[in-house]
Amino acid sequence: MPKPIRYLIYAAAIALLAYNSVYFKKLDEVKAGNTVFDAAGYAKDFWEKKLTPGLSKAMNLNALTSLLKADKEKAFNEHSHALGIGNIRYFLVKGRGVVTDVDENEVSVQLTDANGKAVTPQVRIATEYIFGNAVRDASGAIDINAFANSMDFNNVSAEINKIIREKVVPPFKSKVQKGDRVAFHGAIELNRAHLQTGNIEIIPVSLQIEKP
């Protein structure tokens, strides 16, 4: 077989192989094949099925601060949660008190005991700057290993905080006044190595203004 013809046959075979091994898809078809994580849906499901039912296990904040003074290690080991091994830990808490101040960013509350007597410390309920991972992590009900990547995991925090900003805070903030008695559930962040309990900030999960 003459060389030119042989070369043509080889070229045709290579072209046919290349044609069969390379193909193209529309971009929308490729995107449709990728599963997009629904952070908002996951946060809603977590809120309704895990976090809210789990509020019954929240520790009374008066009892927690007393335990922190008496046995800090026990308080952290038995009642806090965190995803890493650092000093920052999160607690799911509840309490009652009297509103001492209301401003655009927070509501200050003097805690009271079961008899309505004022006890320390005073706390701050965040009503404007709701961010971070306190609520997501305080319950200990989310497993980081269930997520494909850290971005999805962090987006869950953002969506939980969005629920708080849009559903929990507005009805409370629109009515609360100085002197009101309030009840709350929420999450707090404490540093094990540098413990400060004199002015705790609460990221709220539930807020009620109690009748006199």
Confidence band for 120, pLDDT divided at 50, 70 and 90:
confident
Other beta carbons within 10 angstroms of residue 204's beta carbon come to 20
Break the chain into its structural domains and give their ranges. 3-210
Contact between residue 91 and residue 187 where contact means Cβ atoms under 8 Å apart: yes
Q: List, for residues 153-164, the tens digit of each pLDDT value.
A: 999 999 999 999
17 pLDDT band (50/70/90 cuts)?
A: very low
pLDDT at 5: 52
- 5-14, 20-29, 81-90: range with highest mean pLDDT: 81-90
Model pTM above 0.75: yes
User: For residue 35, what pLDDT band results from cuts at 50, 70 and 90?
Assistant: confident
| φ and ψ of 202, to 5 deg | -110, 125
Strands (E), the chain: 59-60, 80-81, 88-102, 106-112, 118-126, 181-191, 199-210
Query: Of how many residues is the chain composed?
Result: 212
Residue 29 tokens read as 């078809």
Q: Which residues, including other chains, have CB under 8 Å from residue 183's CB and lie 6 or more apart? A: 94, 95, 96, 207, 208, 210
pLDDT confidence of residue 111: 96
Pairwise CA distance, residues 109 & 102, whole Å = 9
What is the percent of the chain with per-residue pLDDT over 90, rounded to a whole number? 72
Alpha-carbon distance 46 to 152, whole Å? 14
3-210 carries CATH number 2.40.50.420:
yes
Which of 35-39, 59-63, 113-117 is most confident?
59-63
**4 neighbors 11 (Cβ within 8 angstroms):** no
Work out the percent of the chain whose per-residue pLDDT is above 70.
83
What does the pLDDT look like over 91-108, one tens digit per residue?
999 999 999 999 999 999
Give residue 20's pLDDT.
Answer: 41
In contact, 110 and 118? CB cutoff 8 Å: yes
164 and 130 Cβ atoms separated by less than 8 Å: yes
CA quadruple 184, 187, 189, 195: dihedral sign: positive
Both structure tokens of 151: 């971005």
In three-state secondary structure terms, 174 is coil
